[in-house]
Amino acid sequence: MTNEEKYNKAFIESFGIEKDKLNGLKYQDVISWDSIGHMQLMTVLEDEFGVELDIDDITDFSSYEEGKNILRKYDVNLNV
């Protein structure tokens, strides 16, 4: 699985949504991406990519796209 596939899978499974919803998806756009869903997503991403996210990055992780920028800071390249 590529990093991008892993990233998408984390969203799809944490929020129970389809892949076509991902582009442009923002925090609270779907019911399941609330504060609880956010904690679930962060934990899955940390586990999947073996990173430990900073509290500020967890707070700033406000959209599908923004999340990619944040992970890049942890040397997780999502276009490979």
Residue 47 or 65: the one with the smaller Cβ distance to another protein is 47
CB of 62 to another protein, least distance (A): 14
Is 39 one of the binding residues for another protein (CB under 8 A)? yes
Question: How far, in Å, are 8, 27, 37, 58, 62 from residue 20 at the CA level?
Answer: 10, 16, 19, 24, 18
CB of 34 to another protein, least distance (A): 9
- From 1-9, 18-26, 44-52, 61-69, span contacting another protein (CB under 8 A): 44-52
The two tokens of residue 27 are 């925090």
- In 3-state terms the chain splits into helix, strand, coil percentages (rounded to 5) of 60, 0, 40
Is 59 one of the binding residues for another protein (CB under 8 A)? no
Residue 35 or 79: the one with the smaller Cβ distance to another protein is 35
Residue found by looking up tokens 């019911």 in the block:
31
